[in-house]
Amino acid sequence: MRAQLTHSDDITTLLCDSLVIPFFKDLTLNADSRSINKATGKQLSRLLASDDFSGQLGQTTLLLLPNGIKAQRILLWGLGDKDKLSRQSWSRAADSLAATLNQQKIKHAAILGSLKLPSAVASAWSFQQLVSRINRSSYRYSTTKASVKAKQSTLAKISIVNAKNTTANKRAIKAGIAIGKGINTARELGNLPGNICTPKYLSSEARKLGRQHAGIKTTVLGEKQMKLLEMGSLLSVGHGSVEESQFIIMNYQGGKKSQQPHVLVGKGITFDSGGISLKPGAKMDEMKFDMCGAASVIGTMSAIAEMKLPINVVAVIAAAENMPSSRATKPGDVVTSMSGKTIEVLNTDAEGRLVLCDALTYVERFKPVSVVDIATLTGACIMALGHHATGLLSNNQDLAENLLKAGQDSADRAWQLPLWDEYQKQMESPFADLGNIGAGGAGTITAACFLSQFATKYPWAHLDIAGTAWNQGGGKGASGRPVAMLCQYLMNRSEQ
């Protein structure tokens, strides 16, 4: 999909399949919409006077083959009360428009960008969100559908018409396309079944990214190399599987060589049966989504390379399959992590932290400015925050606040939970330096406490996406979160 800023002195002569006209609830016409109204013999004002369109947030109404203009259809788009328009409500309205546009059989949509928005919704930001959400809405999963293919979107081009032709607006539209594409990359990886998206499949996708973008160098370590690095904790998770575990490093050099990198760490459990601590059968199919942290890292790297952000980023993915077998790690086994700390595996279904802890030790060598790990880590996070907010815990408040701000700016929000020393006691074990699960509740917090013991040498944050990585019910599928938040975070850091 392409997107661009366009200027038209006479909007009535603009050639497009669908001309989108935004309105607040007061239904006031501006200069562009007045010229359309005049050219159509006041078809527009008659439609606005009817009960068919009221300008409610997210409402869309279609007018086919309007008189007097070149556009094949007019689409009225409601933004609600101007005084109440916020970044969250703009994002909801954008989602509604995106769904309507991608359901139509059109190739080119032109959106009037001349409507004056309130200061809470800056024009550059609003265009980034709009383009990103239209792009991500075009995604349809069809890879493993042989007989009935999903109806694909035909939308190929978006024009923002008569908005200010500023560098900020141009950059925002470019970012919106890249972020939307990155989100769709993450969704596709998350939606693939575990028999296709194996650890080696993830490593092949990371290598492909390196071939597509000159700024990314990809390195993959196999189990023999991980043994030499003494990654005993990560390797213990894949013992029960015939699929070889993989450790993937993607190095993006967009800034000066002397700049210390930001690091992203993704949990890549391509299928999680729970191991010997076997999960219940109901909804176990959803455990193919346990690699969505890794998918979001690949999607983010794709987006920042597309944007050519002037920043250095290292992305690390710890990939394994957690299966029960005669070789699988057992509850009560003690493994030795790369850091040298020993871990009593009290529950083999708490495997994500076992792969992440070795990754967090490994990334010390990069002397990072910040480290953010992303993982579908705990069901407790769903109990605490539902499916709306990502859980955030950190050993550095400045980093936490920067991520929270990026979540607000991208409408991909997180909520911070405490990481107090009192919780660390729950990780004590009589047989090892620590256990892999806590006792006494607060499962999301104790999981982060475990990880924090391997992230002592740099500012670190943990994003628990167990409730946000995939959608439930009829629209079941990977969400692509938190690619938007991570991209916004890195964009903000690149500007400093």
| Contact (Cβ atoms closer than 8 angstroms) between residue 299 and residue 206 | no
DSSP string over 157-198: EEEEES----HHHHHHHHHHHHHHHHHHHHHHHHHS-TTTS-
Question: Which one from 279, 308, 341, 493 is the annotated catalytic residue?
Answer: 279
Q: Quick check: bond before 118 cis, omega within 30?
A: no
DSSP string over 126-151: HHHHHHHHHHHHT----TT-SSS---
| Contact (Cβ atoms closer than 8 angstroms) between residue 376 and residue 293 | yes
Nearest residue to 354 (alpha-carbon basis) of 369, 334, 370, 372:
334
Which tokens in the block code for residue 22? 């935004």
Strands (E), 65-215: 73-78, 108-112, 157-161
Question: Which one from 73, 267, 288, 353 is the annotated catalytic residue?
Answer: 353
Q: Is 279 a catalytic residue?
A: yes
Alpha-carbon distance of 123 to 365, in angstroms, equals 41
Alpha-carbon distance of 327 to 240, in angstroms, equals 5
Q: How many residues are listed for the chain in this entry?
A: 496
Report angle CA 351, 353, 357 to the nearest 5 degrees.
130
* β partners of residue 62: 75
The values of phi and psi at residue 29, to 5°, are -85, 140
Residues with Cβ within 8 Å of 286's Cβ and at least 6 positions away in sequence, in order, are: 470
Alpha-carbon distance of 220 to 404, in angstroms, equals 32
The DSSP H or E segment spanning 249 is: strand 246-253
Unique residue bearing structure tokens 């550059």: 124
DSSP string over 411-449: T--EEE----HHHHGGG--SSSSEESS-SSS-HHHHHHH
Instruction: State the catalytic residues.
Output: 279, 353
